[in-house]
A and B are shown apart, each in its own frame.
Chain A
Amino acid sequence: MRRITAVEAASGTVLLALAVAALAPNLIAPGDPLAINPLASFQPPSFAHLLGTDESGRDLLTRIVHGTAPSLLIGVAATVIGIGLGALLGVAGGLGPRWVDSGTTRLVEVLFAFPGLLLALLFIAVAGPGPLTSTVAVGLATAPGYARLIRSQVLSVRRSGYVESAVVLGRGWWRRLTRHIAPNVTSTLFVLVTLGVGQSIVWASSLSYLGLGVSPPAAEWGAMLNSGRTYIGSFWWMTFFPGLAIVLSAASTTLLGRSIQNRVRT
C-alpha cells in the first residue's frame, strides 16, 4: 500500500470534518442556526461571529455547520438517484441482448437531448417545488450522463480479454457478472459518486436561484449562496463562506475519488 499523499490527507481531513458536521453539528457549532437577531444583521467576520452574520443576524458559522447535513444529503441523494437510474439503464444496455441495448440507448439519447435543467424544470413543474422534488429532479437530470458512461464501461469490460476468456472457458453469465464485470463497474461507480456529489450540490443551488429550491429558513448552502448573492457587492462573506463550503466538499470528494481510482489502477 502506498504512502498517503498530502492531497489525500487533506481531502480526508476535510471529509472527516464534513462528516462530523453532518452527524453532530453541535460539537463544532453549538447554537441555533435559525436564531435571528435583526439588529445584528450584516456583521462582518469578528470574534463574536467568526464568519459574520447574514441578513437576519444569524451566525454564518453555525448555519454552515448545521447546513452540512441537508446540503450533502441533497448532493448524495441526487447522485445516488442519478447513478442508480443510470446504472440500471447502462447495465441493462451493456449486458442485455441487442434489442435491450438499442432500446435503452435510444431512451438515453432522448433524455440526453433534453438539457438537464429543462428536465429538472419540467419535473418540478409537474411535482411542485421543494427539497424532495429538487433532489429527484437533479438526479433525473444527471442520470443520462451516468447511463452512458456506465454502459460504455460495461461494454469495454465485457469485451475485455479476461471476460472473453471466461466465456471461452464456459463460465456462466452470473459468474461473469459478479466476478469480472461488477467489480470494475463498481469502482467506476464509486468514483462517479464522488465526482457527482459536488456537481449535485451545485445543481441544487442553481435551482434555488431560480426560486425552485428548499423552503426557508433551511440552512442549505445553495440557498444561502443564493440569498447572499443579492448583497454580494456590499457583504461579501454571505456568499464567500457558503461557496467555500460547496467548493471544499466538491473538491475533497473529487480528489478522494481520484486517489481511489489511482490506487485501484496500480
Chain B
Amino acid sequence: MRTPRLTLALAAVGISALALTGCTTGADTGDAAAPTGNPVPGGTLTYASGDAEPTCLDPHVGGNYPQALVATQYLESLVSLDGTGAPIPWLATSWTEADDSLSWQFTLRDDVVFSDGTPFNAAAVKANIEHVQDPATASSTGYLAVGKVTSVEEISDTVVQLNLSSPDSALLESLTQPWVAIQSPTALARTSDENCESPVGTGPFVVSAWDRQNSITLTRNEHYNSPPADAEGDGPYLDEIVWRFVPDAATRYAALASGEVDIIDNAQPDAIVAAESNDAINELEAPRPGASNRIELNSGKAPFDDERVREAFIRSAGVDDGITSLFFGTAERSYSALSSREATAVSDPDLFTFDPEEANTLLDAAGWTTRDADGYRTKDGERLTLEFPVSTNQSVPAEQSLFEQIQATTKEVGFDVVLEPLDLSSWYTVLGANEYNLVSAPYTKVGPDVLRILYDSAGLVPAPSGYFANHSQVSIPELDELLTRASEITDTAERTQLYADAQKIILDGYYILPLFDQQNHYLYSSEVEGMRAMPTVSTPTFAEAWLDR
C-alpha cells in the first residue's frame, strides 16, 4: 500500500522554531493512550462537536477551528510538525530556503493522487496558494498565513517555488495549518458553493455527504498513502466517520456516556472530572498553539491608556482560586502570552501576583482618588468603569464564571467591571466599534508569529468589516521592529531571543492578563484506539484510529 518515508534530507537552514530546549510543561503533546492489541479494520466512528457547524467545509474560506477539526480528516498540508514542534515532511519531502531568503523551494512527493484522480504536483500547490490569496475566496486565516507569498512558480512537476516579498521565518509553521491545506485543483475550479459542500484532498478520509444541521459523513480513502513523517501504522482502518454537532455541553457528555457517540470535543471541566472515574472514557488533552487564553486590556482609550491603571487591574484580579475551583484542576495557570505548546513562550509569574494593596496605591497615584456611593473609584466625576463584552459562543461557562470572579475581586479596589454577554455577531460589532475595555479573544496559529498578528501596530488597521486583531491596541515601534525582524530571521537562537524580548515588552506593559492555555479537551470511548492529536493545531486525527468492539 504505502511506503513510509521516514528519513529525508532536511536542510538546516530550512528549519525554524526549533528551540530544542524540550517540550511543554504540564500536558503531554497529545498522544492518546497506547493502543492495545492489533488494529481491526472497519466500523463507524461518531464524533460530536460542541462548536458551531461550519458554513463551508473548505478551510480556505474564512478559516476557523471547527473547519480545522473536520478538515484534518480529508485534507493534508505540505509540512507537518513533530512532537517538539520541528517541521517534518508530509506532502513535501524536503525544502530549501534561498540564500537571500526571498524564496523557498519545496520538493514534493510524486506518488500522491487526490481522491478525485487528479495528480498531486507543483501545479496543484500553485493553484491552492492562488485560491487562498484570491479575494473571491474570502479567506481570512489562510490569507494571513501566506501573506508574504508574492508568486508561485512550477520549477518541475515535483518542485515548486514560493517567492516572498520579504523573508518569512514563519512560513513552514504557517504551511502546516489546515487553513492552507492542499486540495485538488480540479475541485477548486468548481464554484465556491460546490467546493464548500465536498472539498477534495489527499487525506485518509473523503467527504461523502453533508446533511446540513445534521451530520457530515466521511468515508475511508482506499488509496491513502501520504501520512506525515511521524505517523505510525497502516491506517486508515475505519470505514466511516460521522461528524455531528451537539452544541449543548450536558447533552454532549450524556451522549458519550451512553455510547451514542464515540468522541466529543469541548469537554467541560466537570465532565472531565466525571470521566476520570469512568473506565469506559478516556481523555485527550491537547492545548491549542498560538496565543494563550488571556484577557486583553484596551490601551487605546481611557482608563487603560494609563499603565498604572492596567497594572492595578491585573494586581487586583483574583484569578488563581477561581481557576482551581472552576476548572477542577484541569487547567493550569499561565503567565505567558503564548501557549505552553510554543517552545519560545516566555513566562513571568512575578508580574501577575495578586496584590490589592499595590493596586490601591497605583490607582491613587493615577488620580482615581475619590469613590462614589457604591464604592467604585471616580475621577473628575467619571466612574472607573470597564466594559467587558463576552462572547457566549466562544467563552465556555467556566470561563464566564471566572470573569464574574474577576469582576468581584477588582471591585474591592474600586473597578466597575460591566460584563456583557453577547452572541458572536454583536460581539464582533462591539469590538469593531472600539466599545470595550477588556476582551478575551482566542487566536490559534502555529508558532510565535502569532505575536506579530496580535501585537504589531499593523494589527490595528481594521478590515472593512471593522475587525482588527490587535485588541490590546499595542503600538510600540520597538516592539514592531522586534516582531518584524523575528519574522524574517530563521536562525533559531536569534529568533527565540527576539521573541523573548518582544514578549517581555508585552508582559511588562501590563497589556494582557494571561489565564491558561486555550483549553482543548477531548473525551472518547475506551473502545477508540490509535487516535492522536496533530502536533500542528492540536486537532485529532483518525488516520490510524480503530474501534475495539
Asked if A and B touch directly (CB within 8 angstroms), the answer is: yes
Interface residue total, chain A, C-beta cutoff 8 A: 26
Quick check: B250 and A232 within 8 Å, CB to CB? yes
Contact with A along B385-424 (1 / 0, CB 8 A): 0000000110001101101110111000000001111110
Contact with B along A29-53 (1 / 0, CB 8 A): 0000011101101100000000000
| Interface-lining segment among B66-74, B141-149, B279-287, B321-329 | B321-329
Residues of B within 8 A of A213 (CB): 421
Residues of A within 8 A of B357 (CB): none
Residues of B within 8 A of A34 (CB): 408
Does B268 interact with chain A (Cβ within 8 Å)?
yes
Quick check: A211 and B392 within 8 Å, CB to CB? yes
Quick check: B270 and A215 within 8 Å, CB to CB? no
* Closest partner residue, chain B, to A38 (CB atom): B321
Contact with B along A67-89 (1 / 0, CB 8 A): 00000000000000000000000
| A202 shortest CB reach to chain B, Å | 19
How many angstroms from the CA of A227 to the CA of B268 in the assembled complex? 13
Does B318 interact with chain A (Cβ within 8 Å)?
yes
Does A230 interact with chain B (Cβ within 8 Å)?
yes
A-B contact count (CB 8 A): 79
Residues of A within 8 A of B318 (CB): 38
List B334-393 residues whose CB lies under 8 Å from chain A.
392-393
Residues of B within 8 A of A39 (CB): 321, 324-325
| A145 shortest CB reach to chain B, Å | 27
Residues of A within 8 A of B400 (CB): 216, 227
Q: A38-B326, A56-B404, A216-B404 are in contact. Are A234 and B409 (CB under 8 A)?
A: no
Does B165 interact with chain A (Cβ within 8 Å)?
no
Interface residue total, chain B, C-beta cutoff 8 A: 33
Residues of A within 8 A of B274 (CB): 233-234
Quick check: B404 and A211 within 8 Å, CB to CB? no
Contact with A along B97-121 (1 / 0, CB 8 A): 0000000000000000000000000
Quick check: A41 and B326 within 8 Å, CB to CB? yes
List A227-248 residues whose CB lies under 8 Å from chain B.
227, 229-235
Does B249 interact with chain A (Cβ within 8 Å)?
yes
| B545 shortest CB reach to chain A, Å | 28
Point out the residue from B254, B322, B409, B421 that lies within 8 Å of A211, measured CB to CB.
B421
Quick check: B421 and A216 within 8 Å, CB to CB? yes
How many angstroms from the CA of A211 to the CA of B403 in the assembled complex? 15
Q: A230-B250, A231-B270 are in contact. Are A56 and B322 (CB under 8 A)?
A: yes
Residues of B within 8 A of A38 (CB): 318, 321-322, 324-326, 405
| B480 shortest CB reach to chain A, Å | 36
Quick check: B325 and A42 within 8 Å, CB to CB? yes
Point out the residue from B253, B273, B401, B421 that lies within 8 Å of A56, measured CB to CB.
B401
Does B426 interact with chain A (Cβ within 8 Å)?
yes
* Closest partner residue, chain B, to A42 (CB atom): B325
* Closest partner residue, chain B, to A54 (CB atom): B401
Residues of A within 8 A of B273 (CB): 234
| B413 shortest CB reach to chain A, Å | 15
How many angstroms from the CA of A266 to the CA of B403 in the assembled complex? 56
| B52 shortest CB reach to chain A, Å | 13
Quick check: B404 and A217 within 8 Å, CB to CB? yes
How many angstroms from the CA of A57 to the CA of B270 in the assembled complex? 16
How many angstroms from the CA of A62 to the CA of B392 in the assembled complex? 26
Does A212 interact with chain B (Cβ within 8 Å)?
yes
Does A12 interact with chain B (Cβ within 8 Å)?
no
Residues of A within 8 A of B268 (CB): 230
Q: A36-B405, A36-B408, A216-B400 are in contact. Are A41 and B421 (CB under 8 A)?
A: no
| B405 shortest CB reach to chain A, Å | 5
Residues of B within 8 A of A36 (CB): 404-405, 408-409
How many angstroms from the CA of A230 to the CA of B326 in the assembled complex? 12
Quick check: A212 and B321 within 8 Å, CB to CB? no
How many angstroms from the CA of A55 to the CA of B405 in the assembled complex? 10
Residues of A within 8 A of B404 (CB): 36, 56, 216-217
How many angstroms from the CA of A129 to the CA of B250 in the assembled complex? 25
List B454-504 residues whose CB lies under 8 Å from chain A.
none
* Closest partner residue, chain B, to A217 (CB atom): B404
* Closest partner residue, chain A, to B320 (CB atom): A38
Residues of B within 8 A of A233 (CB): 250, 253-254, 270, 274
Q: List 18 A-B contacts (CB under 8 A).
A: A36-B409, A38-B321, A39-B325, A128-B426, A129-B420, A211-B422, A211-B423, A215-B419, A215-B420, A215-B421, A216-B407, A217-B407, A217-B408, A227-B400, A230-B249, A230-B270, A230-B397, A235-B270
7 additional contacts, CB 8 Å, given A129-B421, A216-B407?
Answer: A38-B326, A128-B426, A129-B420, A211-B421, A216-B404, A227-B401, A230-B268
